[in-house]
Structure 1
Amino acid sequence: MSAASFPTIEFRSPTNPAPIPTLPPNPNERAIARFSLHGKKAIVTGGARSLGLSSATALLEHGLTVLCILDSNLANAQATTGDLVALFIQARIIFKQLDVADEVRVKEAVGWAVDTMDGVDVLLCAAGIAGVKDSLEIGGDEWKRMLDVNLNGSFFCAQAVAKSMIARQTPGSIIFIASISGHTTNFPQPQVSYNVSKAGVIHMTHSLAVEWAKYNIRVNSISPGYMDTAMNEGEHLDEAKKIWFVRTPRARMGSKEELSGCVVLLASQAGSFMTGADLIVDGGTTLI
């Protein structure tokens, strides 16, 4: 590659820094405005269930005006949208079926969502899969699918949304759901493909935060620990949970609600100077 064609990362100029958000002078109004999402539009992948759904609900609770749920399960997306519409009558809520691993479909879905909503301010990438299997037994298709959904799918969605934000010259916040599995080796369950996919998400967060800062797009991630979700239900996990609890200073799994506050922080003005951060929400597990 010649020097003339070698791409380089550019930062904003000190003479044209990222804008500082303004808040109302009244203390009560300022407290509300700091975490308000009034007038904002968001896309949530994997938003029809689990952490995606609880996070989407929290965004609506804080005043989100328009929400688009993208989920691989059409029935779940339809049911979830109906429930949310009944709860948040002031908001506009739409949905579309999407496998985030399909790059072409991602571009189509994001384009449809942005056109329908007339823009987007927040992207939450919560779509993901998990698996437990000995590393010597993992097949190529299994390995590829894990990375396709968790890592590649997150990138495809972020790239498509960022291009829209840049084209419209609007600031934005992109949030990835990573995992403590990207920081440490899970135990006792063997999850090498999952661990690798989430480690990739965390470093992708760092890289995109640097590249897209000049466009006033913030990129952050959240790394949950062991959470009380459908993924961690079932008697087959009883013995593993005993080990998880012993290795967690808080001695329990986290609730979905304990993650949604971080999502609101990163989506709102309260997190306006945060980019490239990975918020670990694990009850202290990674400290041991």
Structure 2
Amino acid sequence: MTGGNQGIGKSVARTLAEAGSDIVIIDLAESTQTAAQIAEDFGVRAAAYVCDVTQPEQVAEVMNAAAQKMGTLDHLFNNAGIVLHKPALELSPQEWLKVINVNLNGVFFVAQAFARYLVATGKPGNIVNTASMSGTIVNIPQAQASYNASKAAVVHLTKSLGVEWAQHGIRVNSISPGYIATELIGDVREDWKRQWIEAIPFQRMGTPEELGGAVLYLLSDAATYTSGCDLIIDGLFTTV
């Protein structure tokens, strides 16, 4: 999985490990301690690799190294992402490209490298990409056009890859979390947070732990006829 050192990725890694899965964390941050703690807590094998997902050569190298170390790769939780709250009129080209590179290009490069491994070894597999409810609606009051656009693209990329790779026995789905209380929103203005919560019918933000079951389902044999699906998990935010 990518982006597994903290937040949603770390929580989902623990959910998958609790279900008996060995874990490989691929993150820009050093994640050896996170992997070691997962291995200790759940009695599974866990490894960690530092990688910039926007660099396809690095991604391919890490994918090969992980496959050799673990013996096989079966599932991918493609989760690395960043957000930038900045009005579109003020965005520099570099800022726009940074968000798109991580959130869209990085998702594609990792999915591509994983699928190439599966096809080369002649085995089926499953991918779950992390999109966002921001790919379906436009968030307010914060301005985040770059993030919204990148996540909308992830949803359609998921559908496109699902269709292309069905012939190879590779299922591709995505989850679209709503407002989730993670480190990613730690520096967000408190008045924004209050406005979000007031607009959520559940009257609270979600927790990373509330996403793990959805990922587990989509990666499992319980979802063998499900591909190209985007599962919105947002406490009803996009429903009203």
TM-score (norm 2): 0.98
Q: Name segments (4+ residues, structure 1) moved above 4 Å.
A: none
Corresponding residue of 1:17: none
1:81 to 28, 35, 53: 35
Identical counterparts, % of pairs? 42
Residue identity in the other structure for 1:279: L
Corresponding residue of 2:136: 183
Alpha-carbon distance in structure 2 between the residues aligned to 1:183 and 1:195 = 8
Corresponding residue of 1:70: 26
Larger Rg: 1
2:68 to 96, 115, 130: 115
Corresponding residue of 1:271: 223
Residue identity in the other structure for 2:192: A
* Number of residue equivalences: 240
Matched, 1:55 2:55: no
SS in 1 for 2:238: helix
The alpha carbon displacement at 1:206 in A equals 0.5
Corresponding residue of 1:215: 168
Q: Which has the higher helix share?
A: 2
The alpha carbon displacement at 1:232 in A equals 1.7
- Which ranges in structure 2 are unaligned for 5 or more consecutive residues? none
Residue identity in the other structure for 1:46: G
The alpha carbon displacement at 1:237 in A equals 2.1
Matched, 1:98 2:54: no
- Tell me the C-alpha RMSD between the 2 structures: 1.0
The alpha carbon displacement at 1:233 in A equals 2.3
SS in 1 for 2:26: strand
Alpha-carbon distance in structure 2 between the residues aligned to 1:269 and 1:206 = 19
Alpha-carbon distance in structure 2 between the residues aligned to 1:272 and 1:63 = 19
Write the mapping of 1:246-261 to structure 2, written as runs, cut at 5 A: 246-261=198-213
2:184 to 231, 237, 242: 231
Alpha-carbon distance in structure 2 between the residues aligned to 1:92 and 1:61 = 12
Alpha-carbon distance in structure 1 between the residues aligned to 2:130 and 2:189 = 23
Native 8 Å contact 2:129 2:158 kept in 1: yes
Write the mapping of 1:115-134 to structure 2, written as runs, cut at 5 A: 115-134=68-87
Native 8 Å contact 2:6 2:183 kept in 1: no
SS in 2 for 1:223: strand
Alpha-carbon distance in structure 2 between the residues aligned to 1:202 and 1:196 = 10
1:280 to 220, 226, 232: 232
Post-superposition Cα deviations, 1:13-51, rounded to whole Å, max 9, x if no partner, equal xxxxxxxxxxxxxxxxxxxxxxxxxxxxxxx10111110
Alpha-carbon distance in structure 1 between the residues aligned to 2:202 and 2:189 = 19
SS in 2 for 1:185: coil
Alpha-carbon distance in structure 1 between the residues aligned to 2:53 and 2:218 = 22
SS in 1 for 2:159: helix
Post-superposition Cα deviations, 1:160-219, rounded to whole Å, max 9, x if no partner, equal 000111111111110101000111101000000000110110000000000000111000
TM-score (norm 1): 0.82
Alpha-carbon distance in structure 1 between the residues aligned to 2:112 and 2:184 = 28
Native 8 Å contact 2:134 2:152 kept in 1: yes
SS in 1 for 2:76: strand
The alpha carbon displacement at 1:246 in A equals 2.0
Corresponding residue of 1:168: 121
Corresponding residue of 1:155: 108
Corresponding residue of 2:195: 243
SS in 1 for 2:88: coil
Residue identity in the other structure for 1:283: G
Corresponding residue of 1:139: 92
Residue identity in the other structure for 1:63: G
Alpha-carbon distance in structure 2 between the residues aligned to 1:59 and 1:130 = 25
Post-superposition Cα deviations, 1:56-76, rounded to whole Å, max 9, x if no partner, equal 110011111x211101011xx
